[in-house]
Structure 1
Amino acid sequence: MQYRRIGRNELYTIDVLQELADAQEDYADLQKQSSGEARFAQKILSDPGKKNGLYWPTSGAEPESPIGPLIAGASRRDISAI
């Protein structure tokens, strides 16, 4: 049973890391569109009022940050069930 739990946890971790790599690519694309130069994010959470990380809060019609859906999914996952 414990081996199965470790395997599942490792698979979730791999999924998260793949999502973070994809988010970095999305962030670099956004940077290239706005400034002409592709740059990777240096942090996960943006400073308040800025879009200098992979996550920033959005309102209404604004496009989501690169890891918006990832954070939303993680907050719904019941870790105790893993």
Structure 2
Amino acid sequence: MSGHQRRLIREHNERAWSVWTAEALRRSKKPPPLRRLQARMPREPRKRQSWQDMKAVAKLLTQAFGGQVIAKQDVS
């Protein structure tokens, strides 16, 4: 759902930019600030990824690309 929302906001901002530019070229007075016409992207809080999560993703990617996951061995 958040990807769909970001796409809608991006499309709205593109249309706002087009209208703003056309109006700015047509008028001789100062146009309204573009920021006032654009929608703002909602900020999603970012969660730090733990090393365990990173390791799990690395294993999945290794397997997805046909690699072999090797268990850690003692080096003595």
What TM-score do you get using the length of structure 1 for normalisation?
Answer: 0.36
> Which one has a bigger Cα radius of gyration?
2
What TM-score do you get using the length of structure 2 for normalisation?
Answer: 0.38
